[in-house]
Amino acid sequence: MSDQEPEKKVEPPLIILKNIHKAFNGQDILNGVNLEVNQGETLVIIGGSGTGKSVTLKHIVRILTPDKGQVFVDGIEVSKPMKSSKIAEYRRKIGYLFQSGALINWLNVYDNIALPLRENTTLSEKEIKAKVDEKLNLLELEQAVRKFPSEISGGMKKRAGMARAIIANPKILLYDEPTSGLDPIMSANINQMVNLMKKELSVTQIMVTHDMNSAYAVADKIAMLYKGNIIFYGTPDEIKQSQDERIQHFIQGIPSKIEI
Half-sphere CA count of 245, side-chain side, radius 13 A: 3
- Structural domain that includes position 241: 15-252
Q: What pLDDT is stored for residue 14 in this prediction?
A: 95
Q: For residue 151, is pLDDT > 60?
A: yes
- pLDDT grade, residue 42 (50/70/90)? very high
Q: What pLDDT is stored for residue 258 in this prediction?
A: 42
In a domain, 2, yes or no: no
Least confident of 5-9, 148-152, 157-161, 227-231: 5-9
Rounded to 5°, the CA angle 27-28-32 comes to 170
Closest CA to 27 of 49, 46, 57, 51: 51
pLDDT digits (tens, 9 = 90+) for 4-25: 655 666 788 999 999 999 999 9
In a domain, 9, yes or no: no
| Amino acid of residue 155 | G
In a domain, 112, yes or no: yes
Q: What pLDDT is stored for residue 128 in this prediction?
A: 94
Number of domains in the chain: 1
- pLDDT grade, residue 257 (50/70/90)? low
Phi, psi angle pair for 73, to nearest 5° = -135, 125
**Mean pLDDT to the nearest integer, 192-208:** 90
Kindly compute the dihedral angle of the four CA atoms of residues 178, 133, 173, 59, in this order, to the nearest 10 degrees: -90
Q: For residue 44, is pLDDT > 60?
A: yes
pLDDT digits (tens, 9 = 90+) for 54-64: 899 999 999 99
In a domain, 1, yes or no: no
Give the percent of the chain with pLDDT over 70.
93
In a domain, 258, yes or no: no
| Amino acid of residue 43 | L
**Torsion sign, CA atoms 14, 112, 88, 46:** negative
In a domain, 208, yes or no: yes
Least confident of 195-199, 233-237, 239-243: 195-199
Q: Whole-number mean pLDDT of the chain?
A: 88
Give a three-class secondary structure readout of the chain. Answer: CCCCCCCCCCCCCCEEEEEEEEEECCEEEEEEEEEEECCCCEEEEECCCCCCHHHHHHHHCCCCCCCEEEEEECCEECCCCCCHHHHHHHHCCEEEECCCCCCCCCCCHHHHHHHHHHHHCCCCHHHHHHHHHHHHHHCCCHHHCCCCHHHCCHHHHHHHHHHHHHCCCCCEEEEECCCCCCCHHHHHHHHHHHHHHHHHHCCEEEEECCCHHHHHHHCCEEEEEECCEEEEEECHHHHHCCCCHHHHHHHHCCCCCCCC
Least confident of 23-32, 95-104, 204-213, 220-229: 95-104
C-alpha distances in Å from residue 231, one per residue of 65, 114, 140, 176, 258: 22, 40, 38, 20, 20
Q: What pLDDT is stored for residue 226 in this prediction?
A: 93
Q: What gap in Å lies between CA 236 and CA 254, rounded to an integer? A: 18
C-alpha distances in Å from residue 182, one per residue of 33, 147, 188: 30, 20, 9
Q: For residue 130, is pLDDT > 70?
A: yes
In a domain, 228, yes or no: yes
pLDDT digits (tens, 9 = 90+) for 68-105: 999 999 999 999 999 999 998 898 899 888 765 678 89
In a domain, 177, yes or no: yes
Q: What pLDDT is stored for residue 52 in this prediction?
A: 87
CATH number of the domain encompassing residue 96 = 3.40.50.300
